[in-house]
Amino acid sequence: MARTPARSAKARVQGRSGSARKTGSKALAKTTRAVARTSRASAARRGAVKRITKETAIEVAVDLDGTGTSVIDTGIGFFDHMLDLLARHSRIDMAVRAKGDLHIDHHHTTEDVGIALGQAVKQALGDMRGITRYADVHLPMDETLARVVLDISGRPVLVFKAEFGRDKVGTFDTELVREWFHAFAMNAGLTLHVEVLYGSNDHHIAEACFKGLARVLRAAVAIDPRAQGEVPSTKGTLGN
């Protein structure tokens, strides 16, 4: 019996590429389902955003009333670490999958994840009825101390004061910490003040900022049992 000719090298490569795309899509669907499974059925404060440009493809899902479960894959190890601890300490379930032009640098991916996550959180907050709205924390990380203050005002403002001694932590540009906070605050509609009072280790400085944000988010998005159904503003609305 004659043998069937072997597939060409090009066909084999195309086959593998198709399989990789299918695997990536399945992984994203799995992470999104993981967020849904770990959320409380009675709470519908969830958001999901898909953002695709010529530079990045981002998909995120959040649940404000979760347990801090996260599945993060941005292709940037240090950034994944920061997002993982953001989810853990805020108790916000979070799924993030990003593919970006990392062959250029980490800027576009970092900023676009901030945009998408901010939009997802804003979506999950809805009309913001019953939220605590304000929160502040002093967050220590070994020799570093950061102060983070938050108002879920609907009027985005970022004040960010932190000095890094080096250009990079690992392969991650330290200047991108501020870029991410700006993208997140602007798109979530937050008035956010972040200040590192002192510190010398750049990893600790970045981590204190993200953990501080996590703790104020956890407190500010929580429902105030004495004000359920009320918009926490004398105007009766936020963001105007």
CATH of the domain at 66: 3.30.230.40
pTM of the shown model: 0.83
* pLDDT value for 17: 42
* pLDDT value for 208: 98
Q: pLDDT of the chain along its 240 residues, tens only?
A: 444 444 444 444 344 444 444 544 555 565 555 555 544 434 589 999 999 999 999 999 999 999 999 999 999 999 999 999 999 999 999 999 999 999 999 999 999 999 999 999 999 999 999 999 999 999 999 999 999 999 999 999 999 999 999 999 999 999 999 999 999 999 999 999 999 999 999 999 999 999 999 999 999 999 999 988 888 787 777 776
* pLDDT value for 33: 58
> Quick check: is 75 in a domain?
yes
Cα separation, 215 vs 220, in Å, equals: 9
> Quick check: is 13 in a domain?
no
User: Cα–chain-centroid distance for residue 207?
Assistant: 14
> Quick check: is 232 in a domain?
no
Cβ-contact 33, 71 below 8 angstroms? no
> Quick check: is 2 in a domain?
no
Residue-range definition of the domain harbouring residue 86: 19-220
Cα separation, 69 vs 209, in Å, equals: 20
* pLDDT value for 237: 79
Domains in the chain: how many in total? 1
> Quick check: is 69 in a domain?
yes
> Quick check: is 211 in a domain?
yes
* pLDDT value for 228: 82
Tally Cβ neighbours within 10 Å of residue 214: 23
Q: Over the range 146-165, which residues count as b (16 or more CB within 10 Å of their CB) and which as e? A: bbbbbbbbbebebebebebe
- Compute the CA torsion angle 114, 123, 91, 192 (nearest 10 deg): 50
Task: Look up residue 223 and give its DSSP letter.
Answer: B
> Measuring CA to CA, how many Å separate 52 from each of 108, 113, 153, 179, 238?
12, 11, 28, 19, 29
> Quick check: is 239 in a domain?
no
Q: For residue 99, what are the contacts with CB-CB under 8 A and spacing of at least 6?
A: 24, 56, 57, 75
